[in-house]
Amino acid sequence: MVATFPALRLRRMRRTEPIRRMVRETALAPGDLVYPMFVVHGRSVRREIESMPGCFHLSPDEAVREAEEALGLGVPAVLLFGIPASKDSVGSEAYAEDGVVQLAVRAIKAELPELVVITDVCLCEYTDHGHCGIVVGGQVDNDRSLELIARTARSHAEAGADMVAPSDMMDGRVGAIRSSLDEGGLRDVPIMSYAAKYASAFFGPFRVAAESAPQFGDRKGYQMDPANVREAMREIEMDIQEGADAIMVKPALPYLDVIARARDRFDLPLAAYSVSGEYAMLKAAAQNGWLDERNAVLEALTGIKRAGADIILTYHAKDAARWLRAS
């Protein structure tokens, strides 16, 4: 017979913090987090991003310092985005040997070999039109874009990246990257695929930070419709079949159901990206005194972990790691 109130009182196991800690179902730790950073050319550059208070454009030397601080807090990995010196129609700096991400990877790995350096693989920051692939006749040409996306991933890996993360949402990109890496003797470099990346309004602050807003149209033709979840499972399955080693859902908080569905269906390591809009909302509310930033951030990140994410990419990574270590 199942006990009911008053014999059953669930509050008994919530009475004190030590008891709550003993029976806590989800544990969030600094080791779950990845810290995204924006790198630019130059030296001693540390310029705060207006749309993302507390985040900065960093030159490679400053990126080393920032990465070292994150690692010291227990954050095991960073994700690098690059803002090039110049842009063109084919995103040339994305795959240039002296591209800003390549320079930053070399600098970080030289000083912090134990840190996991992941690179975002896309063309949008590097193209003058702001789209994630090659534009032909006013449309993004999926198949013509694959060669340059694969070339970018290989260039990052050759510079020393531990993992590459394609975010372009072109069909077939994971297979193209896997083939290029293998042909280049880089078989051990894993791919973390942005497998279910939605055409989200929550990317707005990032596009200011990365100077990557499309100059015409939008990205709804290749990023996912926010209304779809079954399609997300097809996207993830296709990337796994092409050789993805880890999968990602992006954004995180508006798509907890997608994270949970993916966790139930697939066995690969699952990442979730708490994106710039999620960060900016919490920051703005905290700065206005409307939320307690520490408690709100840790609750949000715990929710993402509870939904099934093994890895959480968040701009709050350093702060969250401090708060977790102090708790």
Residue among 87, 109, 220, 250 flagged as catalytic: 250
User: How many domains is the chain built from?
Assistant: 1
pLDDT at 98: 96
pLDDT at 214: 76
pLDDT at 210: 73
Residue 111 lies in a domain: yes
Residue among 109, 197, 305, 318 flagged as catalytic: 197
pLDDT at 209: 82
Query: What CATH number corresponds to the domain at position 97?
Result: 3.20.20.70
Report residue 143 as tokens: 């198949």
Told to judge if 250 belongs to the known catalytic residues of this protein, a careful annotator would answer yes
The parent domain of residue 320 ranges over 26-326
Residue 61 lies in a domain: yes
Residue 170 lies in a domain: yes
Told to judge if 197 belongs to the known catalytic residues of this protein, a careful annotator would answer yes
> Could you report the average pLDDT of every consecutive run of 10 residues in the chain (327 residues)?
90 96 97 98 97 96 98 98 92 94 98 98 89 87 94 98 96 97 98 97 87 76 94 98 98 98 98 97 97 98 98 98 94
Residue 244 lies in a domain: yes
Residue 6 lies in a domain: no
Residue 98 lies in a domain: yes
pLDDT at 212: 73
Q: List CB contacts of 45: < 8 A, sequence separation 6 or more.
A: 57, 58, 59, 62
Residue 12 lies in a domain: no
Residue 152 lies in a domain: yes
